[in-house]
Structures are given as C-alpha cells and as structure tokens.
Amino acid sequence: MVSNKPISQSMIIASVPSAVSDVCGPVLAELEANNFSQEDSFAVHLAIEEAFLNAVRHGNKMDPAKKIKIDYLIDADKVEISMTDDGSGFNPKAVPDPRCGENLYKAGGRGLFLIESYMDVVEFNEHGNTVRMIKYKQKASQSK
C-alpha cells in the first residue's frame, strides 16, 4: 500500500562507517512502502553510502567523536536527503572528474561523481559541509 503521508525524519548519527546502515535501513524501507522502483532504491542506496562515507572520511576525518546530521523527507513522488558533517567543508567544484586522464586509474575520487550521476538534484551549502540530494520517483512506464 502506498503511504500518502510524507515521512520526515531527522537523526544525528555517530561518525563511523558502519552507522550508514542506520540511515539506509529506514530510508530504503520507506521507499519500498511508497512503491519506488528497484532502480530508484539502488540509486538512493548508493548515494547515501557514498555521501555518508565522504562525511565520515573527508568531513569528520574519521573522528568517531564527531556526528553526522541526517534529514530526510519521503513522499509519493520523491525522496530528499540532507547530510551535514562537523568538518570544515570543501569545494565540490574543485573535485576532479574521475573519468579523465590519470584519474581513471586512481583508487579514489568516484564517490561524489556517483552521487551526481544517480541523483536528480545534488547541492551543497556555501560552507561545503551539507549535501542535499533529491531523487524523483521513476514513472511506472520508465521502469524496466
């Protein structure tokens, strides 16, 4: 059954990689309850994993005493997720394209690119420590 009532949640989570399941679990369950496609769920799962690990590693510098704030809103048409870390922020425009030149052979640097590839809207605050991501529900006719 599709839930017509938008779900809005805020949580503050420990800045450790394994805590990403505390975000993915409830968000993916809500997407299923709202009849999002498997492709949409895969995209949102990937974006949450990448954004959360970026926040833990690059934002909070693997400091387990720091926190990550998550806000999400899910309604019948879209899912919107914001993540804020305690770090000093970064300039997303300065992140090199991982597909170009020698970057293609580097072990890292693909997280942000994947988020931007799989989500419909990706924005950062001016400080560079909050990312806001939106995925619109795939129409039934677009599902494979």
Partner 1 sequence: MSPLKPRISVEYVENATIVTFTDEKILEDNDIAALQESVMSIIEPAQHLNLIFDFGNVQFLSSAVLGLLIRISKKVYENDSNLMLCNINPKIYEIFKITRLTKVFDIYKDVNAAIASLNPAE
Residues within the interface to partner 1 (CB under 8 A): 17-18, 20, 39, 42, 45-46, 49-50, 53, 98-99, 104-108, 110-111, 113-114, 117
Look at residue 105 and give its three-state secondary structure.
helix
Task: Identify which of residues 99 and 127 has a Cβ nearer to partner 1 in the complex.
Answer: 99
Nearest approach, Cβ of residue 99 and partner 1 (Å):
4
Nearest approach, Cβ of residue 111 and partner 1 (Å):
5
How far apart, in whole angstroms, are the C-alpha atoms of residue 76 and residue 2? Answer: 8
Contacts with 18 (C-beta within 8 Å, 6 or more apart), sequence order: none
**Do the beta carbons of residue 68 and residue 13 sit within 8 Å?**
yes
Task: Identify which of residues 62 and 76 has a Cβ nearer to partner 1 in the complex.
Answer: 62
Nearest approach, Cβ of residue 1 and partner 1 (Å):
26
Neighbours of 23 (CB within 10 A): 22
